[in-house]
Structure 1
Amino acid sequence: MSRFNLLPLLRGQLKGLTLAARAGTPADIAARAILYGIPTLLTLLALLLDWKLASPVPILTAVSLLAGGTLSAFSSISTLRLKLTDWSEEGDGREVDRESLDESVAHLFMIALACAFDAAILVVGLNFALGDKGTPDEGALTGITAGLAMGVTAYIFLTFVMVLPRLYWAYTKMNRVSRKMSGFDAT
């Protein structure tokens, strides 16, 4: 069963959601609240208020494409991380760059995993939880599958938005992007 153990992925993401990448540093409560709280709240609201997903097929298409894209991004980051390790020497200050990539990989894997869960939820919903024929809800995803799909999709979106600045930061640092071109320089 260790092949199906998803706990290391979650642990990797939680370790990345700290205020610094050192042992004993506090958790980034704001990031965790946004990343996990908003999707949970959205799922609960969808269930309580009986929200429906009118067009679940485009979401299924999007999460399927994004899953493949995140795995491709992992391949590129893995190669970059390997090069960084080869170029670096112990104590050269590159640990922060490597940790930034490591955090991004954990988030990308969680995005890919969430995409798989979202796709499964949407496929099940499309086959079992559609609105009644002849009603305005015909073809809409309803019930718990609609709520779960909304929550998981929100989590995917938030994680994706969160990982992009980390990847850009790692890119600018490792490639020594000039201050003139770096978005992290406010001048």
Structure 2
Amino acid sequence: MATDRFSPLPVVRAHLLALTKRDYSSTTVTARGYDWVALIALILIPSLVGAVAWLLSWRLATVDALLEGSALLVGGLIAGFAQIAAWRDRLTAAAQKEGIAGVSKRDSLDESVAHTLMAVYAAVVLTVLLAIDANVLAGSGAKGEVTPLSQLLSSLTLASSAYLTLLVLLVLANLWSAYSDNNDVPARMGGAE
């Protein structure tokens, strides 16, 4: 179907699969279930931020700078995806050439790609919400008045921002893991033993 090209479901699926714990101790990699702490944090924290914003009637004072920042973030995340994909490609080529397994290293990069692409979706949603807030609602209501629609947009914007922040933190942790494993960073510098 032609609409499958616009479907975010493969990225969402990869994002959820990246939130599983894996066992690398044997010759085959086995999934040990979801990382429930990360999964619950990704759902609960943005939901709480959005709920608090709604209950306290928070309204973003200005969205222009946030709109520009979120649009730049989309581009930066896409560039980050390209860099991670190139790193993954070099790691795979080196593993094939030298006969190194390196599955856990590649998994960290694969997880980072899934989370990065999910962050791109979140940043696009954030950009759309901010654009609607800046352009559609700019003339509605008195200056500073909190309408139900502006309250909803602010709540969704803050929840999306919280989700995006958590995704960036996930990517950073995965990238550090892949970097320190791949480059044998010593324990005194924060690497694995």
Structure 2 CA distance for partners of 1:78 and 1:24, relative to 1, 3 Å: closer
Using the TM superposition, name which of 55-64 and 163-172 deviates more. 55-64
Paired residue type of 2:60 = L
Q: Which residue of structure 2 aligns with residue 59 of structure 1?
A: 66
How do 1:78-93 residues align onto structure 2 when only pairs under 5 Å count?
A: 78-89=85-96, 92-93=100-101
Structure 2 CA distance for partners of 1:59 and 1:46, relative to 1, 3 Å: same
Deviations 1:150-181 (A, max 9, x none): 1101101111112102101111221223444x
**Structure 2: where are the runs of 5+ without partners?**
24-28
Q: Is the Cα contact below 8 Å between 1:10 and 1:110 reproduced in 2?
A: yes
Runs of 4+ displaced beyond 4 Å: 21-24
Q: Which residue of structure 2 aligns with residue 103 of structure 1?
A: 111
- The CA distance in 2 between the partners of 1:173 and 1:95, in whole Å, is 11
- The CA distance in 1 between the partners of 2:126 and 2:92, in whole Å, is 35
TM-score by length of 2: 0.84
Q: Which residue of structure 1 aligns with residue 150 of structure 2?
A: 142
State, as a whole percentage, how many aligned pairs show the same letter: 32
1:4 paired to 2:11:
no
Question: Residue 15 of structure 1: which of 9, 12, 17 is its match?
Answer: 17
Question: Residue 25 of structure 1: which of 15, 26, 32 is its match?
Answer: 32
Q: Is the Cα contact below 8 Å between 1:129 and 1:143 reproduced in 2?
A: no
Query: How large is the RMSD of aligned CA atoms in angstroms?
Result: 2.3
Q: Which residue of structure 2 aligns with residue 132 of structure 1?
A: 141
- The CA distance in 2 between the partners of 1:18 and 1:91, in whole Å, is 26
Q: Which residue of structure 1 aligns with residue 184 of structure 2?
A: 176
Structure 2 CA distance for partners of 1:45 and 1:159, relative to 1, 3 Å: same
- The CA distance in 2 between the partners of 1:183 and 1:66, in whole Å, is 28
